[in-house]
Structure 1
Amino acid sequence: MSAHDGIEIERKYDVGEDAVVPSLTGVAGVASVRDGGTALLDAIYLDTEGRELLPQRVVVRRRVGGHDAGWHIKSAEGDVRHEQQWPLGDADREPEELRARIATRLREPAAPLVPLARLVTTRTTLILLDAEGGAVAEVADDRVTAVEDATGEERSWREWEVELLDAAPEGADADGGLLDAVQTELLAAGARPSSSVAKIARALGLG
């Protein structure tokens, strides 16, 4: 079961319940916007009993729903997130190759992974298109409900996420690029740069 490796360039924003995603047609580099539909994402996030991965900004999850259902390892550096993904397979246990990739980050390479939290997200997406119809970015409107495994505590929030897609122009992630142009409109609509580094951190009450 081989992994798919990729890089995501994205930004996240905190928003209130009444916020409305603004019209982004006319933003520099965006000629039109397509409805990307709504999906229900159901994810279990895991770590060792001692939570060794989270301080390293490494996330392991098993997610059902959406176009990228499967097992994931994600690590972050600024707006850039590295991701490895494996198919769901038939078992609830993580793929052996995933275990091998996190082994060097653990004091005990064979330490079992245990659930941290379950996150259920209703995701509504818009696809931003350039003049040729190429998809340059995706804007996701996420409504999240999380239940922490250890305490049973439930937390809910809403966030917007903007991710560059394959047709994004070269340098779109640089200062003055596409992400900045979209961000200007989102901030004007009431969004704020996310106070949390990842959904799982917020699910656990870590910010």
Structure 2
Amino acid sequence: MSDHIEIEQKFDVDEDFGRPDFGALSADVAAAPPVRHHLAATYFDTADTRLAAGKITLRRRTGGTDAGWHLKLPAGQNARQELHVPLSAEDAGEGTGGADAQVEVPDRLAALVAGVTGGLPLAPIAVLDTERTVVTLTGHDGRVVAEIADDVVTARRLTGATGATGATGAAAQPLRWREIEVEVPVASPALQQAAADLLLAAGARPAGHGSKLARVLDS
């Protein structure tokens, strides 16, 4: 199991938003060509969403460069501690991240949130499909200084969670939106502010939710 601190800013944008040239942020930063990924994720929680209430997210995701299980815990303003467990050979064969009832949360991650769940079972509460376009920013030394993730998300809330409706195993009507995340490996206030200013000038808005799951649960 690995972990790191995730430092990111999120912005809401319209579906026809024109992504600005991030290579223009600074003479010290170069922008790589965009790379596209398809991500499929299932989010887990108790039926009364105790993890979400504590600003904790737990998901199983396939696609992209970090497929696996991710547990995100609050770690200060605009920062979360992310713990990652790779998919096992058996788990990886369970499909593309959909809400398969046979998939079980790894014991190591379940144990870390046991104090929050109070012993209640963890089950799928939402599924998200994301078309992600990533622009990587590097410094003169070639090190990554930021990643810009441009996400078009289609999400469904599953029944069983408080407030959901319909037959067991069904899903609510899909929700679709586009958002942009600016993530830095270490805090870089000047770069983060420059990226935020560039996005806001292009028509982006500060995100109305702290996470994709929070948006789904509020819908």
* Stretch moving more, 52-61 or 123-132: 123-132
Q: Which runs of 4+ in 1 moved over 3 A?
A: none
SS of the equivalent of 1:22 reads coil
Following superposition, the deviation at residue 205 of structure 1 comes to: 2.7
Deviation of 1:29 (Å)? 6.3
Shift of the 63–184 alpha-carbon distance from structure 1 to 2, 3 Å rule, reads same
SS in 2 for 1:179: helix
Number of the residue aligned with 2:99: none
How much does 1:30 deviate?
A: 4.2
Q: Please state if 1:97 is matched with 2:96.
A: no
1:179 to 192, 211, 215: 192
Instruction: Decide which of 166, 169, 173 is 1:153's aligned counterpart.
Output: 173
Partner SS for 2:155: strand
What amino acid sits opposite 1:47 in the alignment? Answer: D
Confirm or deny: 8 A CA contact 1:42 1:65 kept in the other structure.
Answer: yes
Q: Where does structure 1 lack aligned partners over 5 or more consecutive residues?
A: none
Instruction: Please give the alpha-carbon distance, in whole angstroms, between the structure 1 residues aligned to 2:132 and 2:215.
Output: 17
CA distance in 1, matches of 2:202, 2:111: 44
CA deviations over 1:75-98 (Å, ceiling 9, x no partner): 233211110110111132111111
Q: Percent identity over the alignment? A: 39
Aligned length in residues: 195
Equivalent of residue 125 in structure 1, options 122, 127, 134: 134
Task: Please point out which of 8, 13, 25 is paired with 1:15.
Answer: 13
SS in 1 for 2:21: coil
Aligned-residue offset at 1:133? 2.4
Q: Please, what is the CA RMSD of the aligned residues? A: 1.5
How many angstroms does 1:200 deviate by?
0.5
C-alpha distance in structure 2 between counterparts of 1:135 and 1:156, whole Å: 30
Tell me the TM-score normalized by structure 2: 0.84
The offset of 1:180, in angstroms, is: 0.5
Task: Write out aligned runs for 1:62-77 (5 A).
Answer: 62-76=60-74, 77=76
Instruction: Tell me if 1:192 matches 2:205.
Output: yes
- List gaps (5 residues or longer) in structure 2: 92-102, 160-164, 166-171
2:200 counterpart of 1:203 = no
1:112 deviates by 1.3
Larger proportion of helix: 2
Equivalent of residue 163 in structure 1, options 180, 183, 196: 183
Shift in alpha-carbon separation, 1:29–1:197, aligned structure 2, 3 A: farther
Task: Tell me which of 46, 56, 76 is aligned to 1:48.
Answer: 46
- Conserved in 2, the CA contact under 8 Å of 1:70 and 1:86? yes
Quote the Cα distance in structure 2 between the aligned partners of 1:74 and 1:26.
Answer: 32
Q: CA deviation at 1:57?
A: 0.2
Q: Deviations over 1:124-169 (max 9, x none)?
A: 010112122221100011000001111422100000000013xx6x
What is the distance in 2 between the residues matched to 1:46 and 1:30?
A: 41
